[in-house]
Every structure is written in C-alpha cells, then in structure tokens.
C-alpha cells in the first residue's frame, strides 16, 4: 500500500522502522533479528537505507584507476525479503549519489517490476572521504530533481526520447526534512525552500531527521503549514540508551540534545539506569508528539532492536 494511503486509512496511531543493510559479507539475519523483536508491535512500514559507494583512485601501470566499493549493498533485495517474509510494506531509499539519470531510472523500473509502491528520495551524503556532494556525471545534485524524475515516471514519461508514452508507475514518494536545519544549509529559510521544491516536485510524505525536543518538531510543522506544505510530517525518533551517544549525535547529525536528557543520563550510575533513563525520556517525547498531532513515530533502530522494543513496550 502507498504510505500516503496508509496514513489516511489507518486506525489509530502507528510507528514505522528504519533499518540499515548489513556490511558486505554479513548476513541478512541481522535485519531479521531486529524485525523479529519488533514485529509484534505491527510496524506500518519499514524503510531500508541505501548507501552510495566509496570511491577512491589508485595508480596501475602508470595510469589512474577508479576503484568503486559499496560497503552496504542489498537495499532492494532486503526490501523484497521483508515484504515476502513479514508482509510489511518496505520502502527502499534511493539516492542521487553514485548513479546517473539512466541508472536511477533503471533502478526505479526494477522497483516497479517487483511491485513496490513506495520509494524514499534523498540526495545522499558526500562520498566517503569528501566534504562536498559531487553528483555522478549526468546525475542529480538535489533530491528535488530525483523527486521530479519519479513523478515523471508516474505520468508515463521516461528518459528515452523515442518513447512517447510509457507505462505509468505509481510510486508514493517520501522525502527527508530537518527541523533544526540541514547541516549544509545556509539558513532555516533556505532549507525550507529546498523542502518546498521537493514537495512541489511531487513528494507525498515527509520523515524528519531525528529530533529530541517536541517543541522543535511542533514549531517546524507549523512553519511548514505557513509555507503551504501540508503533506504528512512523521517525526524521526532515535532511542537513546547510552550516554556516549549524546556526545556524538550533535556533531554527526546536526541536531541538539536537551539538557534534561543530558542530565538524566549523567545522573544514571549504572548501564541499566542509563538504559532506563534514556528510554523513559524518549517515551515522554513520543507521548508529547502524539498528543500534538504527529501522524506516527518513525524509529531509527540503528540495527538495534532492544532499545526500540523497550520504548514501544512503554508506549503501548
């Protein structure tokens, strides 16, 4: 089912998950182990992240050779396996990074043939070892361009100029948003302007970057409404159960951590107390988000099912 239709027709609140493919050479059971723990809570859908390749160059026989290595392959296969094994809608991430327009379209055709109704469109981070995003030659530099490409396919328009009318796909398109501004954005205004471009290009729902303050999410949604952005905005939530996570998250993801959460974790004297304090704080955050009208909760599991399970048990 399309995610926008699911949100409209659902009965009661929902939560969704985000999982990451295992490293190359490891087993898909790492994904299944997480979902097995959380399946009983009836996730509405499961996002599966996509990772562009690491690109490096080396000299061979006096000439520069491009070396491409993808650390976490398997997004499409994992999505197919999830839908087959659990009957839960899987949403593959699709990046601008690492692919040109034809490769992007070929991937979308594969997803259409496999029966996927949803796709999550992202620009992607800069390639490993670089500080600025550089699109592949004849690729896209902005997620809004990727959204436009998917929207054109939904209307039957493909890259082939000789194809006058192709079969219409029916992808529901999800995009990311940043309640505290994307780390590369010059200002909040410019970041919301970029989000508006994605929505105008055809985005159907939004999942936010992780947020640890309900007021930040609430104020963000209100601001989006004033800008004419009225599609569902699902808050992204990451369970925090280890104090050292608080130290790394702000710089890695460009988000703030409330002093109350810092204090609760700092006051914990044992690992068990840390786990309890973090779980209770995030549960309170989720309750407030739900009270203020969030359509659901999107959990970034980071490959760990224990903390997500503890949070969901508290919320039910």
Token reading at 30:
């790492």
Mean per-residue pLDDT, 168-175: 98
DSSP reduced 3-state for 48: strand
What is the pLDDT, as a whole number, of residue 64?
Answer: 61
Phi-psi category of residue 118: left, alpha or beta, with phi > 0 → left and psi -120 to 50 → alpha: beta
Question: How does residue 245 score in pLDDT terms, banded at 50, 70 and 90?
Answer: confident
Closest C-alpha among 105, 256, 241 to residue 183: 256
How many percent of the chain have pLDDT more than 70? Answer: 95
Query: Against a cut of 0.75, is the pTM above it?
Result: yes
Over residues 115-124, the pLDDT tens digits come to: 999 999 999 9
pLDDT at 95 over 90: yes
Instruction: Give mean pLDDT, residues 43-50.
Output: 97
Cβ neighbours, 10 Å, residue 245: 18
Q: Is the pLDDT of residue 163 over 70?
A: yes
As a whole number, mean pLDDT of residues 104-111 equals: 98
92: enclosing H helix or E strand: strand 89-95
Produce one character per residue of 185-196: b if its CB has 16 or more CB atoms within 10 Å, e if not.
beeeeebbebbb
What pLDDT is stored for residue 69 in this prediction?
A: 63
pLDDT at 148 over 80: yes
pLDDT of 70 reads: 74
The helix or strand, by DSSP H or E, that contains position 262, with its residue range, turns out to be helix 259-267
Average pLDDT over residues 83-93: 98
CATH of the domain at 184: 3.20.20.220
State the pairing for strand pair 297-300/233-237. parallel
CB 137 within 8 A of CB 109: no
**Structural domains of the chain, count:** 1
Task: With CA atoms as reference, report the closest residue to 57 among 47, 48, 68.
Answer: 68
- Residue 243 pLDDT more than 70? yes
Q: How far is CA 142 from CA 76, 117, 156, 238, in A?
A: 22, 22, 22, 26
Kindly compute the dihedral angle of the four CA atoms of residues 106, 110, 113, 118, in this order, to the nearest 10 degrees.
-100
Across the chain, mean pLDDT equals: 93
List pLDDT tens digits, range 47-73: 999 987 655 555 667 676 555 667 899
**Average pLDDT, stretch 236-242?**
94
Residue 225: burial class (beta carbons within 10 Å; 0-12, 13-18, 19+): exposed
Tell me the helix, strand and coil percentages in the chain, rounded to 5: 45, 20, 40
Burial of 3: CB neighbours in 10 Å, binned 0-12, 13-18, 19+ = buried
Of 101, 151, 93, nearest to 122 by C-alpha is 93
Residue 80: what pLDDT?
97
Q: Give tens-digit pLDDT for 284-307.
A: 999 999 999 999 999 999 877 899
- The encoded tokens of residue 219 equal 């104020």
Q: How far apart are the first and last CA of the chain?
A: 24
CB 298 within 8 A of CB 286: no
DSSP string, 50-72: --PPEEEEEEETTEEEEEEE-SS
pLDDT of residue 132: 85
Boundaries of domain holding 213? 3-315
* Side-chain half-sphere exposure of 18, counting CA atoms within 13 A: 20
- Residue 110 predicted with pLDDT over 90: yes
């Amino acid at each position: 089912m399309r995610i926008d239709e699911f949100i409209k027709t659902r009965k009661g609140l929902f939560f969704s998950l985000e999982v990451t493919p295992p490293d190359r050479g490891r087993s898909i059971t790492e994904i299944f182990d997480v979902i097995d723990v959380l399946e009983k809570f009836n996730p509405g859908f499961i996002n599966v992240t996509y990772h562009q390749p690491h690109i490096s160059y080396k000299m061979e026989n006096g000439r520069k050779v491009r070396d491409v290595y993808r650390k976490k392959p398997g997004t499409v296969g994992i999505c197919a396996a999830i839908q087959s094994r659990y009957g839960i809608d899987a949403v593959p991430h699709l990046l601008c990074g690492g692919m040109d327009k034809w490769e992007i379209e070929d991937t979308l055709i594969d997803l259409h043939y496999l029966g996927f109704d949803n796709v999550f469109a992202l620009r992607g981070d800069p390639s490993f070892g670089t500080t600025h995003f550089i699109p592949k030659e004849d690729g896209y530099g902005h997620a809004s361009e990727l959204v436009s490409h998917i929207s054109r396919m939904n209307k039957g328009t493909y890259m082939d100029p000789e194809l006058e009318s192709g079969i219409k796909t029916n992808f529901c398109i999800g995009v990311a948003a940043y309640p505290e501004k994307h780390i590369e954005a010059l200002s909040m205004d410019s970041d919301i302007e970029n989000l508006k471009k994605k929505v105008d290009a055809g985005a159907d729902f939004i999942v936010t970057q992780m947020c640890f303050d309900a007021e930040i999410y609430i104020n963000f949604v209100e601001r989006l409404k004033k800008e004419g952005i009225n599609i569902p905005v699902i808050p992204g939530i990451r369970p925090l159960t280890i104090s050292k996570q608080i130290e790394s998250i702000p710089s890695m993801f460009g988000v703030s951590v409330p002093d109350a959460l810092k204090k609760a974790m700092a006051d914990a004297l044992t690992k068990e107390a840390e786990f309890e304090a973090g779980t209770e704080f995030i549960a309170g955050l989720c309750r407030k988000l739900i009270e203020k009208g969030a359509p659901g909760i999107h959990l970034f599991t980071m490959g760990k099912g224990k903390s997500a399970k503890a949070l969901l048990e508290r919320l039910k």
